[in-house]
Structure 1
Amino acid sequence: MNSIQTSRFLKNAFIADAVASGAIGALHLARPQAVTGLLNLPEALLQGTGLFMVVYVLMLAGLAASRTLWRPLALFVVVGNVLWALASIDILVLGMVAPSALGEAYVVVQAIATLGFAWLQYIGVKKSLPVAGAAASMRTV
C-alpha cells in the first residue's frame, strides 16, 4: 500500500516548484553569460543546472498530472529538494565557487525556496490518502 491519491495540495506544490524551477532553468540556459557576469557563478554551472531544471520540470509536470503516485517517489522529490538546498549552500561554504555578493544572495535565496518547496511537498504527501487494493499499483507513475 505504497500508492497515494495525489492531493490537491501536493499537485499545487509540484506545480509551484515546476514554475520556479522552469523560470530559473530558462534564465540559466537563455542568458548564461549575462547571469555569470552579474552573479560571478561559473557559466558551466549555470548551463548544467539549467539543463537539469528542464528534466526536473518535466518530471514535476508528470507527477502533478497523476491521480495516484507511488509514495516513495513523491518522498524522493522531497529528499532531492533538501539535498539540492544543502548542496547549494555547500558550494558556498566549501569555496567551490566565488560568487559576487549578489551571487551569494541568489544561491542562498534559491536554497531557502527549495527547502520551502520540500516542506510543501512533504505536507502534500501527508495530505494524500493511501490507495487501497492491488489495482492501485496499476495506476501509479
Structure 2
Amino acid sequence: MSATTLAGLARASDPQTVLRRFLALDAVVTGANGLAYLVASGPLGRLLGVDSTLLLALGGILAAYAAAVGLLASRARPGAFPVRAVIEINLAWAALSLIALAVWLSPSAAGAVWTVLQALVVAGFAVLQHLALRARQGTSD
C-alpha cells in the first residue's frame, strides 16, 4: 500500500477508524514477517547473512507481537496507553535494528538493505499511529 493510498484512507475516515486501520496494517505486515522468519529461517538466513536461530527467535517475537497488535486493532476503541506502547515499541524496534546493523550484525548486502527498509517501515507505522492517535484525541477526548 502506497503512502498516497494511506494518506487517502486517513482523509476519508474518522480518526478512530484510521487508528484501527494503521494498527491492523502493522499487525498484518509484522505477522507476515514473523511467519516468514519462522517458516523459512534457513533460506532467509542465508539470503540475509543472518543466523537462522536469530531469525527463528525474532519470528516468534514478531508473531506474538503481531497477534497482540491485531487484538488491539480489533477493539472498537483501542486504549490510548496500549496504542502508545505499540508506538514506543515500534520506535525502539526501528532504532535497535539500525544499532544492531551498525554494531554487531554483519549481514549480506541484501540483509543490510532489508534491515534498513524494515526499520523505516516500522518507524513509519509508529508515525502514522501517533498521528492517528493525536487526531482521535483531538476530536473526542
Q: TM-score, normalised by structure 2?
A: 0.84
1:63 maps to 2:72: yes
Partner residue, 1:47 = 56
Identity of aligned residues (%): 27
What displacement does 1:131 show? 6.7
Query: Would you say how many aligned residue pairs link Structure 1 and Structure 2?
Result: 126
Task: Encode CA deviations 1:14-42: one digit per residue, 9 max, x unaligned.
Answer: 11111111111111000100001111111
The answer to whether residue 90 in structure 2 is matched with residue 81 in structure 1 is yes
Which runs of no fewer than 5 residues in structure 2 stay unpaired?
Answer: 1-14
Per the normalisation by structure 1, the TM-score is 0.84
1:109 to 75, 98, 117: 117
Instruction: Tell me how large the CA RMSD over aligned residues is.
Output: 1.5
Which residue type is aligned with residue 133 of structure 2? V
Q: Residues 56-90 of structure 1, C-alpha deviation per residue, up to 9 Å, x if partnerless?
A: 11111111111223312111110110000000001
- Aligned position for 1:136: none
Distance 2:56 2:135 in 1: 35
Structure 1: which 5+ runs fail to align?
Answer: 1-5, 133-141
SS at 2:78 equivalent: strand
Bigger radius of gyration: 1
**Could you list the runs of 4 or more consecutive aligned residues of structure 1 that deviate by over 2 angstroms after TM superposition?**
129-132
Q: How far, CA to CA, are the matches of 1:22 and 1:69 in structure 2? A: 19
